[in-house]
Structure formats: C-alpha cells, structure tokens
C-alpha cells in the first residue's frame, strides 16, 4: 500500500498497511534466523518472526472488525508525507530486502533489526494519534511489544559483544 497519492485515508487503510508491514518484517526475521550461525541469535530471530506474525494476525482481525465508515479525519500534509515515507521508504519490502542482502556481519544485522523495531514504534506512535480513541489501547499494546523487541535485540547484541 502506498500513501503517496491519496487525499483521505481510512483506519482500514492504515491497518492494511500494518498487516503488510508486519508480514514483511516477519519474512526478514525468518531470513536472518536462517543466516545466523549462533543458536541464541537464531532462536531470538525465530521468536521475533513469530511475534511479528502475531501482530499481523491482530491487525488482520482488527481490520475485519472496524467499520468501513470509520474514516480518519483529513490529514495535514505533514502527516500524509510521513505516512508516504513509511510506506515508500522505511517499510518497502524491496528496500528492506536489499538492505538485508547487503549486510555482511551480525553487528550490521542487529543494527538493521533494532532500527526496524524503532521505525515500527515511531510509525505506530503516529498511527495512534490519528485512529479513533477506541483503537488507541490496541495500538499502545503493539507499540509496547515493538519496544520490547528492540530491548531484546539490544540485550542479546550486548551479550554477544562481550
């Protein structure tokens, strides 16, 4: 989904994008788990992949539950630009796969994954502001889980650096 050429988006549009983003991240983490030689690293990325899949399922379920008419109010140009940047640059499946392909060591892979988790925190923090108040607790849960992913990655990276 591309947010670049739209004048109005719905909560459904945002959730559809979230479903795709979580699927892409899961696929990336599966690839990293296969690449990893260290058992702890392999296991962590398998766990993270499964967690991203759980997020995808949650967003899919939420997508089927929200009303089609639950439109997001007209967005200002700054928020539209931010959503476009997320969809076209930060969470683009092709761009993320290319970045992963270029990584040569686990240090780079950890930095890549931690950055991706922080990008998700930022994205969902922005989404939280524009969705209906009844959806904000749900988004908060996802944000907390993405933060926890970052912390787990950082902790394992530090442990492996010692």
Residue among 27, 144, 22, 161 nearest 105 (CA): 161
Q: Which pLDDT score, from 0 to 100, does residue 153 have? A: 95
Q: Which pLDDT score, from 0 to 100, does residue 44 have? A: 95
pTM above 0.85, yes or no: no
The stretch 105-134 carries a mean pLDDT of 89
Q: Which CATH code is given to the segment(s) 11-161?
A: 1.20.1260.10
Cα three-residue angle 56-144-141, rounded to 5 degrees: 60
The residue extents of the domains of the chain are 11-161
Q: For the chain, what is the mean pLDDT?
A: 84
8 A C-beta contact, residue 106 and residue 45? no
pLDDT level of residue 109 (50, 70, 90 thresholds): very high
Out of 93-102, 111-120, 132-141, which region has the weakest mean confidence (pLDDT)? 132-141
**Residue scoring higher pLDDT (140 or 127):** 140
Q: Which pLDDT score, from 0 to 100, does residue 161 have? A: 87
Q: Which pLDDT score, from 0 to 100, does residue 6 have? A: 47
Residue tagged 């699927």 (tokens): 23
> Helical H runs in the chain?
11-35, 39-65, 77-85, 93-102, 106-130, 136-161
The stretch 11-22 carries a mean pLDDT of 82
Point out which residues pair with 63 in neighbouring strands.
none
**Residue scoring higher pLDDT (150 or 92):** 150
d(CA 122, CA 82): 10
- For the ranges 31-40, 65-74, 83-92, the maximum mean pLDDT occurs at 31-40
């Amino acid at each position: 989904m591309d947010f670049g050429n739209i004048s109005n988006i719905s909560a459904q549009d945002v959730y559809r994008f979230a479903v795709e983003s979580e699927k892409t991240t899961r696929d990336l983490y599966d690839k990293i788990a296969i690449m990893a030689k260290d058992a702890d690293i392999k296991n962590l990325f398998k766990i993270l992949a499964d967690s991203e899949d759980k997020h995808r399922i949650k967003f899919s379920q939420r997508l089927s539950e929200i009303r089609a008419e639950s439109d997001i109010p007209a967005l200002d140009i700054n928020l539209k630009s931010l959503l476009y940047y997320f969809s076209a640059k930060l969470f683009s499946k092709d761009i993320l796969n290319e970045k992963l392909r270029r990584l040569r060591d686990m240090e780079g892979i950890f930095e890549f994954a931690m950055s991706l988790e922080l990008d998700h925190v930022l994205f969902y923090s922005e989404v939280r502001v524009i969705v209906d108040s009844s959806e904000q607790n749900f988004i908060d849960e996802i944000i907390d889980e993405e933060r926890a992913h970052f912390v787990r990655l950082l902790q394992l990276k530090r442990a492996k650096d010692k």
